[in-house]
């Protein structure tokens, strides 16, 4: 039987249909909003239970190009691997749904979200989560809580909930909240660089673009958001989120299928083993806690288990050994949390607000454009920067865009197994790697203005024990400065955590892997000393109050300031890779001189490009000049030449007439004659047949560049002047 539900939400209407399509799935939802249509399905394997200690949930968000009336570009006319947007959206939905499943849920579960129709104003990430949650809530799986998303934007200083994509493009804030009717579960936030304040037509390097086609340069302004302002936005957005979920549950509860009884994995711990470990092994447990690297800690705990089995031989069975491993890990977790809550001391001896030691080495790779080796405790990121031009930008096409877009700032994050002591091969990019790179990109983008350049940052994680994504942010900023790229502010990142028991809680700065695994929150905050540029939060305990969130934000601000002070000191010691680092210079000239700098048919600017090995862009509107070259010497030479043209006394234009005679200078010799510069700088052609009364084989036998010659105006051919030699 088909059921239809329509809901009026803030700035949007959503229509849901159940029981009409995909009826063999455990749950299915057809959602329509505007001209967007999405199908979400949930399928569970009721016969299998995964024994490992994780939730076997897979989320796939899939876009079809026909949804926007497009055919896939490229050689293959069929959708192939997921785009970055599809992968990141799948990850957002997964992180929002995962907390809904009960402990011990081990049935493999597949959530599939397919976009069948999309309009240019729909927020597909919000609708994807809402559709998936509706399919799960109304399925026969015993999930009794709705989760949904609300996006917030700030347009012209005003808060807009559930903005259109056009509004979002003009916003200084992109805040994505997901949660239930009672709890906030996940945050994704970024501050935009502000609205475009310049859109200028540029003259492209004529050697690279003979057609002289225009390119558009967009100038951005840094716009980090203060903690107080962000908390105010949270309060209003969270209220809408809670209210929306209450509407969803009221509307969907009557439509729920009959629940199927499912087996849960046994999660009870062996009390005898717990007592034995607490009474006899606490020294070894604390010693293992102090082994900061994941591989070292695992080895210490494995050694402890072997030691216990030599005393308790009756536990040496496959089933009991698994129980022993669970018991050891449980006691270790208890001790980690108790030490933090009761003693305000962490496993490595740090205070709750203390940041691990940091070392920063810049330009450690002599042949890269720039690089930074950023080390914080046992987390280490080698971030390498490469600069390019507009043609090096990454082309991409999203479903809601009318045309192909160019991405000129890229952050690519790689996490090889050796960074955590695992013997695993380096494979393709995983969702986590893509997500961490995207977070670092959102953190740094508001602080830079690339002025038509393309920049690629690659973060190679060499060692990881807590928040390698934040090490990528810090190392990425230092790599930008080590490439002499201007930034509006110093940007750093810090990972925050929390441990709570009842009403008691402790907020941790710069968490390590152990605290992430055994804690209740993973909260990454990036920004300057004044505000936040990006943020990502996942809650493991079912929600967080705004008071605790505010405390965490201000503690993160203190930690960021500490890290930024260390970064500023390292920045003052940067030595650039001058031999390989491309150089860029920006300056302005009087727009009335642009014609002379370009020269007749682009001759002058071509000569400069060839001589100094540079690319030159000139803004016709306001005279902004951009020179890019392989080294500073060539860029400086080109700038000096342009300034000499602009600053030279302006020659008075001569009105030339046929028959007039002038003394000119041989500027350039070609096979068919010589170009002669006349008194006001205008060029004329002295054809080889007009050089001498006798036949001339080689012009260079008669003239050299710089020679003076008396010529007569013979005729005008459009803008060209034909000359003849005057004999004396």
Residue 514, domain CATH? 3.30.230.70
pLDDT value at residue 410: 94
301 and 439, same domain (yes or no):
no
pLDDT value at residue 631: 77
82 and 213, same domain (yes or no):
yes
441 and 539, same domain (yes or no):
yes
CA distance 710 to 712: 7
Is 654 contained in some domain? no
590 and 475, same domain (yes or no):
no
619 and 484, same domain (yes or no):
no
Longest CA pairwise span in the chain (Å): 120
Is 197 contained in some domain? yes
284 and 212, same domain (yes or no):
no
pLDDT value at residue 427: 84
Which residue range(s) make up the domain with 181?
A: 3-255
Residue 428 CB-half CA count within 13 A: 3
CA distance 174 to 530: 18
157: left (phi over 0), alpha (psi -120 to 50) or beta: left
Q: How many domains does the chain have?
A: 5
Among the candidates 343, 371, 390, a domain finishes at 343
169 and 202, same domain (yes or no):
yes
From 292, 441, 300, select the one nearest 357 (Cα to Cα). 292
565 and 684, same domain (yes or no):
no
Is 353 contained in some domain? no
CA distances (Å), origin 687, targets 259, 563, 654, 690, 698: 94, 69, 22, 5, 12
Cross-sheet strand order for the sheet of 379-388:
358-362, 370-376, 379-388, 454-463, 409-414
- pTM for the whole structure: 0.80
CA distance 616 to 609: 7
CB 473 within 8 A of CB 444: yes
CB 373 within 8 A of CB 389: no
- CATH number for the domain harbouring residue 682: 2.40.50.140
214 and 73, same domain (yes or no):
yes
CB 175 within 8 A of CB 154: no
pLDDT along the chain (728 residues), means of 10: 85 92 95 96 89 85 92 81 92 93 89 95 95 96 93 93 92 93 90 45 32 33 78 92 94 92 77 89 83 72 88 84 86 89 88 95 95 95 91 82 84 92 85 93 91 90 92 97 92 94 90 86 92 89 79 95 97 89 83 81 86 86 84 86 80 75 87 85 84 83 87 83 83
- CATH number for the domain harbouring residue 632: 3.30.1370.10
Is 300 contained in some domain? yes
pLDDT value at residue 653: 66
List, in order, residues 6 or more apart from 386 with CB less than 8 Å away. 368, 369, 455, 456, 458
pLDDT value at residue 263: 80
CA distance 619 to 340: 59
Is 350 contained in some domain? no
Is 707 contained in some domain? yes
pLDDT value at residue 223: 64
Is 263 contained in some domain? no
39 and 177, same domain (yes or no):
yes
pLDDT value at residue 290: 73
Name the β-bridge partners of 628. Answer: 584, 615
Is 653 contained in some domain? no
CB 643 within 8 A of CB 627: no
373 and 405, same domain (yes or no):
yes
CB 92 within 8 A of CB 150: no
550 and 623, same domain (yes or no):
no
Among the candidates 255, 280, 312, a domain finishes at 255
């Amino acid at each position: 039987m088909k059921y239809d539900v329509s809901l009026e939400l803030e700035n949007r209407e959503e229509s849901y249909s159940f029981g009409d399509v995909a009826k063999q799935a455990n749950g299915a939802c057809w959602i329509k909003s505007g001209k967007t249509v999405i199908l979400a399905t949930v399928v569970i394997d009721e016969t299998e239970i995964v024994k490992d200690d994780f939730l076997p949930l897979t989320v796939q968000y899939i876009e079809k190009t026909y949804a926007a009336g497009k055919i896939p570009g490229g050689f293959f006319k069929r959708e192939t691997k997921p785009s970055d947007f599809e992968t990141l959206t799948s990850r957002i939905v997964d992180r929002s749904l995962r907390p809904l499943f009960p402990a011990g849920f081990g049935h493999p579960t597949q959530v599939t979200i397919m976009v069948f129709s999309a309009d240019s104003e729909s927020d597909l990430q919000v609708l994807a989560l809402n559709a998936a949650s509706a399919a799960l809530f109304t399925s026969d799986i015993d999930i009794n809580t709705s989760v949904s998303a609300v996006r917030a934007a700030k347009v012209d200083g005003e808060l807009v909930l559930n903005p259109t994509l056009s509004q979002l493009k003009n916003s200084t804030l992109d805040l994505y909240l997901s949660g239930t009717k009672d709890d906030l579960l996940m945050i994704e936030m970024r501050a935009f660089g502000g609205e475009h304040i310049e859109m200028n037509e540029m003259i492209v390097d004529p050697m690279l673009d003979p057609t002289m086609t225009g390119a558009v340069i967009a100038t951005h302004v840094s716009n980090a958001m203060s903690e107080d302002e962000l908390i105010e936005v949270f309060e209003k957005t969270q209220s809408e989120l809670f209210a929306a979920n209450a509407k969803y549950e009221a509307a969907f509860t009557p439509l729920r299928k009959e629940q199927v009884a499912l087996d849960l994995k046994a999660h009870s711990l062996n009390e005898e083993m717990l007592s034995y470990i607490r009474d006899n092994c606490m020294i070894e447990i604390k010693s293992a806690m102090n082994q900061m690297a994941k591989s070292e800690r695992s080895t210490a705990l494995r050694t402890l288990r072997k030691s216990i089995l030599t005393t308790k031989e009756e536990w040496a069975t496959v089933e009991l050994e698994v129980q022993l491993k669970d018991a050891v890990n449980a006691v270790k977790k208890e001790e980690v949390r108790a030490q933090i809550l009761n003693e305000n001391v962490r496993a490595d001896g740090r205070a709750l607000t203390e940041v691990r030691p940091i070392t920063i080495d810049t330009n450690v790779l002599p042949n890269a454009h720039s690089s930074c080796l950023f080390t914080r405790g046992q987390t280490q990121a080698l971030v390498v920067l490469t600069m390019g031009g507009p043609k090096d930008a990454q082309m991409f096409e999203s479903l809601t865009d009318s045309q192909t877009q160019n991405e000129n700032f890229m952050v690519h994050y790689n996490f090889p197994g050796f960074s955590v002591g695992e013997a695993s091969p380096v494979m393709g990019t995983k969702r986590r790697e893509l997500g961490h790179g995207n977070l670092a990109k959102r953190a740094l983008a508001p602080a830079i203005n690339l002025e038509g350049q393309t920049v690629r940052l690659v973060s190679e994680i060499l060692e990881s024990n807590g928040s390698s994504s934040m090490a990528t942010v810090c190392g990425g900023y230092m790599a930008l400065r080590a490439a002499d790229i201007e930034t509006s502010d110093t940007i750093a990142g810090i990972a925050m955590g929390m441990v709570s028991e009842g009403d008691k809680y402790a907020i941790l700065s710069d968490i390590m892997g152990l605290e992430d695994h055994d804690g209740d929150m993973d909260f990454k905050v990036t920004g300057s000393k004044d505000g936040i540029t990006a943020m990502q939060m996942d809650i493991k305990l079912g929600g967080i109050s705004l008071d605790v969130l505010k405390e965490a934000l201000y503690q993160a601000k203190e930690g960021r300031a500490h890290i930024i002070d260390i970064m500023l000191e390292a920045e003052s010691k940067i030595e650039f890779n001058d031999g390989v680092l491309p150089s860029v210079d920006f300056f302005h000239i009087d727009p009335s001189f642009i014609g002379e700098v370009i020269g007749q048919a682009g001759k002058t600017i071509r000569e400069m490009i060839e001589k100094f090995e540079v690319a030159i862009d000139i803004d016709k509107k306001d005279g902004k000049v951009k020179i890019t070259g392989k080294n500073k010497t060539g860029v400086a030479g080109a700038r000096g030449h342009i300034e000499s043209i602009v600053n030279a006394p302006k020659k008075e234009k001569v009105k030339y007439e046929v028959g007039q005679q002038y003394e000119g200078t041989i500027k350039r010799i070609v096979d068919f004659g010589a170009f002669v510069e006349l008194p006001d700088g205008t060029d004329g052609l002295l054809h080889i047949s007009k050089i001498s009364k006798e036949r001339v084989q080689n012009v260079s036998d008669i003239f050299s560049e710089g020679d003076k010659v008396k010529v007569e105006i013979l005729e005008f051919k459009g803008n060209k002047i034909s000359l003849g030699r005057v004999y004396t």
